[in-house]
Each structure stands twice: as C-alpha cells, then as structure tokens.
C-alpha cells in the first residue's frame, strides 16, 4: 500500500521541523548571568541557572575550571565590570553538550562551592591575610554575597563565626556550650547541655544540620578559632521551640553523632559513617488509607517542621534519644524523601498532603489518600538495609568481610550441610587453575559458620599453593579473623596491621577484638571507635561480639560513659540467653559505678542465680569486691569465696585477674607463701599477657619488703629461709640481693642454723656474684664455715675467690678469717707469719690463740700481760675479754708450774676477779 503526500503537506512538515530545531537550539544556547564579588580572602562567582544543573568545580594549577552538565552561553559582562581580585580572563567552551568555564587564578588557593537554590556559587579561597587588589568594588561584592548565599556561608578565614541573627526569646530550656577541635581526619563538635535533650543530625546540599528538641541561644564563638576546610561557618535558625543549627561544610564528608553523659558529640570525617543503631524502614497496609511508610525507632522526640532557607523546601525532623540512632541510606519516594542521617529522622516533603506522626515505637509517614508506594518498593521490616524504589539494591558501604553473604552459601534455600556438600563437590570438580577460588568459597563459608579451624586449614593450603595471596587484602583479613577465632591474637594483629587494610573499617573492628583479648584495651578502644561507623552492617552475632569486647575495654579503662554507650548499642540486637545474662552483669557494673549499690547487688545476684558459667563467675567476683568495700565480709571470707571460683572459668583475663586479687589478699593477711605462690601461678599461666609484667613487679615488691625492709623479721627463721629459697628467682641483682642474703644468713647464724646460713651464701657465691662482691660475700661464708668447725672449707672458699684488686677493708677481713682458719687447722707457724706487721685488736686476739694452740706458755703469759698492761692498778671492773686474759695467764702459769708467777698474778688481780665471770 503506497502513501501519497502532497507538496503542501511536505512543506508544512519541513516548517514544523525547522521550528522545533530552532526551539531546541535556542534552549540549549540560553544565556545565563554570571556575577562576581570579593571578600578580603576570596573571590566569588555566581552562575544564575534557571534550574538545578549538576557541576564540578576544581582548581587545576593556575586555572579555575567549572564544568556543568548542561549547555548555555554565560554572560560575563558583570564579571568583567567588577574585575574580581583573584579571578580573571573568563572563557567558556562547549564540550559534548556541557558548558565548561575557565578563569585564570591570580593567586594560589583552594576552591569552595555550593548551591543557593538553582544558583551555583564558586569561591577561590586565597588564605588568611590576603588582601584584594584596588580594583575591588566592595558594594558589588556584598550584593553578590547577599543575593547568592545564606548568611551563614561566612568567610572561613575569619577568626570568629558569623551566625545568622535570630529573634531573641525571654526564656530558654537550658544552657548549651559548644566546643570544637580538629584532629587528623576528624572535626569534632561537643554540645554540652545542662539538661537532657534529644538530637538529630544530617547533611544535605553542603549543609550540616544539628537539631535539639529544646530551645536555647547557641554561642558558636569558641568554634571560630578552629574553622577549617571541613567546617567553614555556623548559624542558628529562628525557631521558637527547638534549637536548629546549620553549618557550611566541605562536600564529601560524613557525620557521626553519639550521646555523652552531658550532651552530644558530633564528628565530621571523610570515611564512611553508618549509625550504630540504624532505623529500619518498612511499610504498613492500612485499609482506610492505603500504604504507609513506618520508621522503627525508640525514644523519639516531637515532630519538627522547618523550611530549608537555602533550598526553599520543607523538612520534617524527628529527634532521637539513643546514641548514634539514624537512617543508614537515603530512600526516595514520589511524595517525600527519607534523608540519610547520623542521628534521628529527617524527611524532605515533596507533596503537600503528607502527614508525619510520631508513635511509641517509631514514626509513620502517610498521605491523605495513601502513598504512591507499592509493596515491592519497600521491604518488610528486617535486618537488611532498605531497597530503592525501583527495586534495585541501594548503594551501601562495601564490606571487606561480608559474613552475612558468605554465611548463606551457594544454595540459599538449603541448610548448612547441603551447602557445605555443594561447596566440597565444586572443589572436587575444579581444574587446577580454579582450585583456589573454590577453596576460597569453602573457607569463607566455613568461617562465617563458625568453623574457624577448617577455614584456617584451607587458607593455609591456599597460601602454600599461591604465596602471593597474603598480599590480597581480603585474603589477609579473612586469615586474620580465622586466627582470632582460634585465639591466635598476635598473628591476627600482625595480619591486620598492614597498609592495605588501613582504611578498611570492618578490619579495624576485628583488630579491636584481638587487642582487647590481649589486654591492650586502649588500642582496642581506638580501633573500635574508628570502625564503629560500619558496626551496624555486621551480622547480629558479630555486632554483639564487638560491643561486648568494647564494653570490656571501656571497663578496664574506667570509661563509664563509653560503657553506657555500648550497653545502649545492644538494645536492638538479638541476644542469646548467655549474652542477655552477661548484659545484666554489665548493667550491675554500671549501677555500681553510678553509686547505686542496691541495684548493683540485685543485678549481680540475678546473674549468679541464673548459673551461666562465665557471667555468673564475673558477677560473683564483682559481688565479693562490693561486699569487701561495704564491710559486709572480711578479707579471709573473701579469700574463701574467691578460692571457690578458681576453676569456674579458665584461660582468659578472668582467671588472671582472679589469681592476682587472691594473691594480694593472701599477702594482706600475712600468708606470704600462699600469696606469692598464687601470683607466680598467674604469671606462669599467662606469660604473654601484658599484665604479667605488672604481676612480676608486684611479686618483687612483696619479696623486697620481706627480706630487704624487715618484713620477714616477724617470721620464724626457718619459715623465712624456706620462703626465701622457694622464691629465690625474685632476689634482685646487685647490692639489694646481696644484702637480702646476708641479712637472712645472719638470722640463721643467731639461732645456730649454720648449715642453712652457709647454703644461702653458697648459692650467692656460686651462681650470682662476680668480682669484688663475690669476694666480699665469700668472707661471710668463710666465717660461717669456721664457726661450723669446717676451717678447711673456709680456706678453700677464700682462696678460690681471690681478686687482684679488692678494697683494703675487705682484703683485711679476708686475711683475718684465713688466719683464723689456719689456727683452727693447727697451722700456727703459717698463721703467725701472716700476722707479721699487723697490730690491732683482731690480730692480738689471733696471736693469743696461736700461742695457746702452740702450748707456748711463756709467750701466752708475756702476751697476756702485754695486753693487760697496768690494768691491775685500776680499780675499774674488768671486761669479759680482760677476765679471759687473766684466766688464760693463770692456766698457762699453772701448766708451766710457775708458782711465783701465780702468786704475783693472784695478788694483782684477786680483787678484780672476785665478782662477775670466771
């Protein structure tokens, strides 16, 4: 069938086509006004688009380049008239239907940009102290700023913020102090309230919104000194019933907000941030109205309606009282949008007849005639993040360790055994080249299903066949988790401390777990705080494990506020019976920290009664310590109670801490052996714990107090010596250790335990000492040998410990002891030769003994008279040594049959010897 077209119809068609082409060309080439202005530290250009147009602004060397996603003809006449200080020579080109504008940057700096309605505002910031040239037209600059941006978009280089002036109100609901600080990649703002408030926080169009459900006049003066490229200015909206704060911020940032004891803390960061308690989004079917959207959350504040002064649309905001409770991803619908939030709920209303209602368990969004939402648009409430309106998966932070996905296996509808059999079958049928991929699928499935040992073996096999795998971040992280589950914490930390994992937040969560298990609590807390932004994306069981770990770290560091936040973070988890009971224990700890002893005791008793081993053991120790502190039991009763718990839970910090406390309690009760033995047991069981060094230090201090500072003086000598020998490894090196041994040996000598005293010093001489110190202690040992009738041993030890350079006093003492040993051995001539030239009391006593042992009675008598001198003429009573001399002279005279000498001695000393000894 043919169609005939008349000439008139053909001409008409061409005319219509030409008109359409001209119209489209005219639209594509529409003119847009470009204006400019100056501030002391930046130049601004404004593009007046009639509609929202996407754009990219960047500084490339000395060129400012702005590329728009639409085409137009820019009118630069106003810019050339103003002649901005730091921008010049505007030109434009059309590239693939996009407008690209370029300015010459006359000064080095940085770019700041934002939208104001449909306008695009771009600033070239040149830094503090830079002054514009004399070409600047100040009035024009102020007009541009006023027209193109809200008042809070202030000069980021000024010393103080420039908040929007708001209407005053006679009364406020509380006082608010705002403090800020910048640290590395994080900008933190503390909102310190004197009353309890709920909060909301979210980011849209380069503006950070922070809303509190109570009203006050905010003072941002303290932020002025820390404004930077993350946070550039601050303002407060004129709202009468709540505090609405807005901040101009640099793009590509994320916010996180947590509750503190005295308010809230907000942080801006570049890495991904997900609320710790994500608000779930689902739909409800109401017969009279149709479909509703429901946002599930607890402790919500009132519904707040405000107009966005920068974009011009309407927002509905709902504050929340729980820490880090917000919407994980933006959800867009036909009549409204649910904005991503760090805290609370924020809705952008598009249609006029949208109603937002707060309920006890959340917020419902409904329309007068129902919402334009199908059931497939929003998932039923579940753990997963909501899907987009078109049914496609929403973009969400990608996890390096996706256990939720790995746990399912290749057969989602089947159970664990069939999935594992399928994975084993796939492995058995793969070629050599694909074998590691099949092994990887099996290893991650095993690890996600708590079969860490099997996963570890498969991963080791993969690494052996392909050593380069360890450089793969995923392989490294999975291997680390397997090590953690096998309690190989050092190996896990080594794997996770690698440059390829420095920005992987879920890897940091696992590393925090390893650090906490090792007792390195500050490192554990630091890693948890870095990785907490993806905590809500973990599986339920892993989230519980991370939170309990961080709770233990916070407890060890005494951070009550941190502990409280972690307990609150568990409110939306599905916990098993053991975890619920353990959570009751931690609630008891918190009650005790806040001074509520009654509630704490009730919680502890509740956990003990439940009888679940680990939390019951924790609660029993806490209860015993509470009873000691309150004076309800004494230390011996506490020891009895704690001894019953020694086998309640083995192998981690609980046992270590229990043994440490028991040991100290024994020492406090003067049961030193039991105390030291218990502490040594703890150090032996946990040699790799960072607490072990403190344990050994504690043991050394106890040992020093006993044997260096006199603590053992009250003990029986034999008991003291037994304690000293049993824990001899605690004897310190150097003079303190020598003094200990000498002190104890002296005590042994006083009670005639010469063999035991010799044993103490023999160990010192043989194993511990060198040089002069060895020679000095050897002289003490030689004395004991002489006293114990072992002069040959005395000579042997003295001669084997001779030194070429010994202080004179030590050398003299050693010489005298050697002479005494010779005398005891009957080697009198050698002893006398050694005494030549020595004249003092010790030497004279030795000479007396030599003459006596030699039975040289004449020399005994003459030497005795020589030592007594004219003492017989002195009426003062004789000393015991002098009485011995008189008696020895008398015996020598009698043995020598010297009667005249005896008479003379008698006449001289009869009166002196009548009283006293001999």
The C-alpha atoms of residue 607 and residue 278 are separated, in whole angstroms, by 30
pLDDT at residue 203, rounded to an integer: 93
DSSP per-residue string spanning 93-152: EEETTEEEEEEEESS--EEEEEEETTEEEEEEE--TT----TT--HHHHHHHHHHHS-TT
Q: Could you tell me the CA-to-CA distances from 643 to 150, 541, 673 in Å, in that order?
A: 70, 33, 16
Residue 291 confidence (pLDDT) = 66
The CA-based angle 853-857-860, given to 5 degrees, is: 75
Long-range Cβ contact pairs of 648-654 (< 8 A, separation 24 or more): 648/613, 648/616, 648/617, 648/620, 649/613, 649/614, 649/617, 652/517, 653/519, 653/689, 653/691, 654/614, 654/617, 654/618, 654/621
H-type alpha helices, 631-734: 635-643, 653-668, 672-685, 692-707, 717-726
What are the backbone dihedrals phi and psi of residue 165, each rounded to the nearest 5 degrees, phi first?
Answer: -70, 130
pTM to 2 decimals?
0.54
Query: What does the pLDDT read at residue 600?
Result: 92
Nearest to 509 by CA among 630, 399, 353, 344: 399
Residue with tokens 């579940």: 382
Averaged over successive runs of 10 residues, the pLDDT of the chain (918 residues) comes to 43 43 47 87 88 85 90 89 90 89 90 80 71 35 40 37 39 86 84 93 92 90 75 82 89 89 88 84 58 82 87 88 90 88 92 81 78 46 30 49 87 90 91 88 92 92 88 90 92 90 86 91 90 85 91 90 85 86 91 90 92 90 92 91 86 85 91 91 85 88 86 82 83 76 75 76 75 80 83 84 80 83 84 81 82 84 83 81 85 86 85 78
> What HEC string does 181-241 produce?
EEECCEEEEEEEECCCCCEEEEEECCEEEEEECCCCCCCCHHHHHHCCCCEEEEEECCCCC
pLDDT at 531: 86
- Determine what percent of the chain falls in helix, strand and coil, rounding each to the nearest 5: 50, 20, 30
Tell me which residue has tokens 């603590």: 711
Answer for the pair 222, 234: CB distance below 8 angstroms, yes or no.
Answer: no
Q: CB-based burial of residue 693 (10 Å sphere; 0-12 exposed, 13-18 middle, 19+ buried)? A: exposed
Contact yes or no for 224/181 (Cβ under 8 A) = no
Give the C-alpha distances (Å, rounded to integers) separating 487 from 491, 519, 706: 9, 13, 39
Q: How does strand 325-326 pair with strand 277-278?
A: parallel
Other CB atoms within 10 Å distance of the CB of residue 526: 16
> Is residue 122 within 8 Å of residue 153, measured between CB atoms?
no
The helix/strand/coil state of 289 is coil
Q: What are phi and psi of 270, to 5 degrees?
A: -85, -30
- CA 783 – CA 522 distance, rounded (Å): 56
- What per-residue confidence (pLDDT) applies to 585? 92
């Amino acid at each position: 069938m043919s169609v005939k077209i008349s000439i008139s119809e053909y001409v008409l068609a061409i005319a219509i086509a030409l008109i359409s082409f001209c119209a489209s060309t005219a639209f594509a080439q529409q003119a847009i006004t470009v204006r400019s202005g100056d501030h002391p530290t930046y130049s601004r250009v404004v593009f007046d688009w009639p509609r929202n147009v996407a754009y990219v602004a960047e500084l490339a060397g000395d060129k400012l380049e702005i590329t728009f996603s639409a085409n137009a003809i820019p009118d630069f006449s106003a810019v050339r008239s103003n002649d901005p200080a730091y921008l010049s020579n505007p030109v434009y080109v059309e590239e693939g239907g996009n407008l690209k504008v370029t300015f010459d940057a006359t000064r080095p700096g940085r770019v700041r940009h934002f939208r104001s309605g449909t306008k695009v505002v771009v600033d070239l910031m040149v830094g503090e102290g830079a002054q514009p040239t004399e070409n600047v037209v100040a009035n024009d600059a102020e007009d541009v700023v006023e027209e193109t941006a809200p008042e809070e978009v202030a000069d980021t280089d000024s010393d103080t913020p420039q908040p929007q002036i708001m209407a005053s109100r006679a009364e406020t609901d509380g006082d608010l102090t705002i403090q800020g600080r910048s640290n590395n990649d994080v900008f933190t703002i503390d909102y310190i309230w004197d009353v309890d408030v709920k909060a909301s926080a979210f980011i849209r169009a380069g503006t950070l919104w922070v809303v509190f459900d109570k009203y006050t006049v905010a003072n941002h003066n303290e932020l002025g000194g820390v404004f930077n490229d993350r946070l550039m200015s601050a303002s407060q909206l004129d709202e009468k019933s709540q505090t609405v704060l807005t901040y101009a911020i640099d793009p590509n940032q994320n916010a996180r907000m947590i509750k503190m004891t005295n308010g809230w803390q907000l942080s801006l960061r570049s890495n991904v941030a997900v609320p710790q308690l994500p608000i779930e989004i689902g739909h409800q079917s109401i017969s009279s109205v149709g479909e509703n959207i429901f946002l599930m959350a607890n402790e919500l504040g009132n519904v707040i309606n405000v107009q966005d002064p920068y974009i011009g649309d309407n927002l509905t905001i709902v504050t929340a009282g729980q820490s880090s409770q917000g919407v994980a991803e933006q959800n867009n619908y036909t009549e409204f949008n649910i904005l991503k939030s760090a805290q609370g709920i924020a809705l952008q209303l598009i249609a006029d007849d949208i109603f937002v209602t707060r309920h006890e368990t959340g917020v419902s969004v409904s329309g007068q005639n129902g919402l334009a939402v199908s059931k497939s648009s929003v998932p039923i409430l579940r753990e997963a993040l909501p899907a987009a309106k078109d049914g496609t998966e929403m973009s969400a932070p990608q996890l390096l360790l996706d256990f939720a996905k790995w746990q399912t296996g290749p057969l989602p509808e089947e159970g664990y055994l069939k999935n594992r059999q399928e994975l084993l079958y796939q492995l058995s049928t793969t070629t050599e080249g694909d074998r590691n991929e099949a092994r990887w699928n099996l290893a991650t499935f095993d690890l996600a299903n708590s079969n860490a040992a099997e996963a570890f073996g498969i991963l080791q096999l993969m690494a052996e066949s392909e050593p380069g795998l360890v450089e793969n971040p995923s392989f490294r992280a999975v291997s680390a988790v397997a090590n953690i589950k096998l309690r190989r914490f050092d190996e896990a930390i080594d794997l996770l401390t690698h440059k390829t994992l420095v920005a992987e937040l879920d890897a940091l969560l696992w590393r925090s777990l390893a650090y906490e298990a090792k007792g390195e609590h500050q490192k554990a807390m630091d890693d948890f705080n870095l990785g907490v932004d993806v905590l809500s994306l973990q599986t339920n069981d892993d989230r519980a494990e991370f939170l309990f770990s961080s709770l233990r770290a916070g407890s060890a560091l005494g951070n009550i506020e941190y502990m409280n936040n972690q307990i609150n973070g568990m409110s939306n988890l599905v916990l098993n019976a053991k975890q619920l009971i353990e959570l009751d224990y931690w609630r008891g700890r918190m009650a005790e920290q806040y001074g509520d002893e009654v509630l704490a005791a009730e919680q502890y008793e509740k956990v003990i009664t439940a009888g679940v081993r680990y939390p019951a053991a924790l609660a029993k120790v806490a209860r015993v310590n509470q009873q000691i502190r309150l004076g309800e039991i004494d230390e011996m009763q506490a020891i009895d109670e704690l001894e019953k718990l020694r086998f309640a839970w083995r192998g981690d910090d609980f046992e270590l801490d229990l043994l440490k406390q028991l040991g100290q309690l024994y020492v406090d009760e003067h049961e030193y052996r039991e105390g030291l033995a218990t502490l040594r047991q703890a150090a032996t069981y946990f040699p790799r714990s960072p607490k072990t060094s403190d344990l050994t230090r504690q043991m050394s201090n106890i040992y020093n107090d006993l044997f260096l500072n006199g603590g053992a003086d009250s003990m029986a000598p034999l008991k003291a010596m037994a304690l000293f020998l049993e824990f001899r490894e605690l004897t310190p090196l150097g003079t303190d250790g020598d003094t200990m041994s000498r002190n104890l040996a002296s005590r042994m000598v006083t009670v005639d335990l010469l063999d035991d005293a010799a044993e103490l010093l023999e160990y010192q001489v043989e194993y511990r000492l060198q040089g002069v110190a060895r020679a000095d202690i050897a002289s003490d040992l030689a004395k004991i040998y002489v006293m114990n009738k072992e002069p040959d041993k005395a000579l042997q030890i003295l001669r084997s410990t001779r030194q070429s350079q010994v202080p004179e006093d030590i050398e003299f003492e050693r010489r005298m002891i050697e002479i005494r040993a010779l005398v005891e051995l009957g080697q009198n001539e050698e002893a006398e030769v050694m005494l030549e030239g020595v004249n003092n009391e010790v030497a004279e006593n030795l000479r007396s003994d030599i003459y006596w042992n030699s039975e040289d009675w004449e020399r005994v008598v003459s030497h005795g008279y020589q030592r007594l001198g004219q003492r017989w003429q002195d009426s003062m009573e004789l000393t015991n040594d002098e009485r011995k001399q008189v008696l020895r002279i008398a015996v020598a005279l009698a043995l020598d049959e010297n009667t005249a000498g005896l008479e003379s001695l008698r006449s001289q000393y009869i009166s002196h010897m009548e009283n006293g000894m001999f």
